[in-house]
Structure 1
Amino acid sequence: MRTSYLAVALAFAGTAALAQQGAPGPAPADQAAAARQRDAVPDSSGTGPFAAMKRADPALPDHVIYQPRNLDALGKKKLGVVVWGNGGCAPDGASARHHLLELASYGYVVVAPGRILSGPGAPPRTGPGRRPDAGGSLPPAATTAADVTRGLDWALAENARSGSPLKGRIDPAKVAVAGHSCGGLQALQVAQDPRIRAVIVHNSGIFADGSNPIPGINVNKALLGRLHTPVLYVLGGESDVAWPNGTDDFKRIDHVPAALVWADVGHGGTFGEPNGGRVGRISADWLEWQLSGDAKAAKTFVGTDCGLCADPQWKIERKRIG
């Protein structure tokens, strides 16, 4: 089983790492060209009521912040907070920029660990990402669950800090954690924090026997029993390398409301599409329902005629959800 775990870990780290192991994937030159093409795509602004932006903050230099561009447009509305785990546990806080801007446009401060290393505002690319060594092992994850939590600590501190543009604008009861792939494992770690009220796990799941081959990511199935909030799993169908682990997680969760949604979009989901594509809208609806009680957003998941129930591309399974 070790080989299959390593294959999953390499997929978490990206197609460049897979190519190093001889697995199917684009050649390095093609990867570089594709990366440049992605970087040239302008940032999304989101489809929510508040056009969003991303920024760096000198007080939190190793994170990227996404928020509504015009805070005054919020009126009396309080911002929620979403802390994010990057795909590959990479130090690129802009790797899911379209998706995170979509969430921010619904009235959230979203914080991702790392710097802006892709897309607008990034420095020139200098080489490939994380690769395995000669023995096939990956280097330690470049970010940790503690880095994800640090984003939440910062946001709540800014809510109280005199002179902060976010002072008094955040509702500490509206806090969620989410993450993609390796970052989804970080999200499950951070989900134990009592300040968290909702969880989204994208294209991820805990390794079946707990022997995670990704250095620096120490998780096991026992984490699932400690979830205390509703949780949404979003998977890319059977072609998603995380499908076995994510579906197994969902089978084991029976004490909190849980939903599993999937479509045949693969491990990368729709993160590269403008505004995060369909996954961006599904995620925003989950947050709006769970954190704000939005009845319209709830209809995406609730009832025999739910929005995802009627979507020919997507499938949904539910537990403790009407």
Structure 2
Amino acid sequence: MKAYSRIPDTPGTGKFAATKTTDTAFPGHTVYRPRDLKALGAHKLPILLWGNGGCADDGASARLFLSEIASHGYLVVAAGTIKSGPGVPFRYEAPVAPPPGKVIPPVKTTYQDVAAGLDQAIAANADRTNSLYGKIDTSRVAVAGHSCGGLQALQLGGDPRIKTVLVLNSGLFSDGANPIAGMTVHKDLLKALHTPILYMLGGPEDVAYPNGTDDFARIDTVPAALVNLPTGHGGTFMQPNGGEGAKITVAWLNWQLRGDKKAASMFVGEDCGLCRTSGVKIERKHLTM
């Protein structure tokens, strides 16, 4: 992580060069957005709420990945403040022993923290003194997260304001098994889903593979896709511009939040883009253009 923290922030490859920033309107969160808001013109920013790996409180932990998404015209609100990256002194945090009966230390953010990012975005969009005033599309909202953050995304999946859910290198534990201190989840969360959902796993080497594939097998009421990349649990978050995982995420968001049919072709049809990508496996349920 120390070496990753020295990698410069990048603007992404999309039409709108992105910036990672803090904003007093988003306390306790990190914001990724197009740098030049005037360049948006009439374009409004759909929202992506983000839960960090480990449910950590470092909103910069997936900064290359999230900047890439923002560069395609999105407002990304990550739980936690900027605690890593260029200009931030590396701070060693001693391991915290989990409490009795748990195997993973307590979370530093909760799904309520992730959800708060949406309330803050709605308020900023209505605030004439904020640079984001009138520039956010508060009707187009996605929630996503990595690992423990993916569980937070599933906890928010039933929120009627959410239009799609992305679960990255994650999946719900078997009922009764809640090894993370401060978090209780169960398979019944899948019954609350009301939107299309994307699972992106790192293949059989991903520690979340059994949980994520079991979730996908259980889902039968909403459109769903399961994409496996040969990355293991770490995904492509630390790769330049977020790697292949960011490309897939942007395509899913463009389809689900903007109705982009070209983006949809990555997932839909016998000859879909991911169907033809070497090393990638895609499974689908009720998924149509």
Normalised by the shorter chain, which TM-score bucket?
Answer: over 0.9
What corresponds to 1:71 in structure 2? 37
For the 8 Å contact 2:98–2:106, the answer to whether it is kept is no
For residue 211 of structure 1, report the CA deviation from its aligned partner: 2.2
Q: List per-residue Cα deviations over 1:163-199 (Å, max 9, x = no partner).
A: 1111111112210000000000000011111110011
1:111 and 1:97 map into 2 onto residues whose CA distance is: 11
1:54 and 1:294 map into 2 onto residues whose CA distance is: 26
Q: Give % identity.
A: 58
1:98 and 1:218 map into 2 onto residues whose CA distance is: 30
1:197 and 1:148 map into 2 onto residues whose CA distance is: 15
What corresponds to 1:122 in structure 2? 88
What corresponds to 1:189 in structure 2? 155
For residue 231 of structure 1, report the CA deviation from its aligned partner: 0.2
Q: Which has the higher helix share?
A: 1
Is 2:231 the counterpart of 1:270? no
For the 8 Å contact 2:255–2:263, the answer to whether it is kept is yes
For 1:61, what is the secondary structure of its paired residue?
coil
What corresponds to 1:28 in structure 2? none
Is 2:248 the counterpart of 1:282? yes
For residue 60 of structure 1, report the CA deviation from its aligned partner: 2.7
What corresponds to 1:13 in structure 2? none
Q: What is the aligned counterpart of 1:319 among 263, 285, 288?
A: 285
Is 2:284 the counterpart of 1:306? no
Amino acid in structure 2 at the alignment position of 1:113 = A
**Residues 135 and 146 of structure 1: CA distance in aligned 2, closer, same or farther (over 3 Å):** closer
What corresponds to 2:9 in structure 1? 43
2:185 and 2:176 map into 1 onto residues whose CA distance is: 6
What corresponds to 1:112 in structure 2? 78
Amino acid in structure 2 at the alignment position of 1:151 = G
What corresponds to 2:192 in structure 1? 226
Is 2:195 the counterpart of 1:235? no
For the 8 Å contact 1:210–1:221, the answer to whether it is kept is no
1:42 and 1:130 map into 2 onto residues whose CA distance is: 29
Alignment of 1:122-141 (within 5 A): 122-128=88-94, 130-132=96-98, 137-141=103-107
1:180 and 1:237 map into 2 onto residues whose CA distance is: 15
What corresponds to 2:167 in structure 1? 201
2:164 and 2:45 map into 1 onto residues whose CA distance is: 15
Aligned length in residues: 288
What corresponds to 1:148 in structure 2? 114
TM-score by length of 2: 0.96
For residue 130 of structure 1, report the CA deviation from its aligned partner: 4.6
1:104 and 1:287 map into 2 onto residues whose CA distance is: 11
What corresponds to 1:91 in structure 2? 57
- Structure 1 segments unaligned to the other structure (5+ residues): 1-34
For the 8 Å contact 2:26–2:121, the answer to whether it is kept is no
For the 8 Å contact 1:54–1:64, the answer to whether it is kept is yes
1:131 and 1:305 map into 2 onto residues whose CA distance is: 49
For 1:186, what is the secondary structure of its paired residue?
helix
1:58 and 1:131 map into 2 onto residues whose CA distance is: 33
1:248 and 1:280 map into 2 onto residues whose CA distance is: 24
For the 8 Å contact 2:2–2:90, the answer to whether it is kept is no
2:100 and 2:223 map into 1 onto residues whose CA distance is: 43
For 1:251, what is the secondary structure of its paired residue?
helix
1:109 and 1:303 map into 2 onto residues whose CA distance is: 30
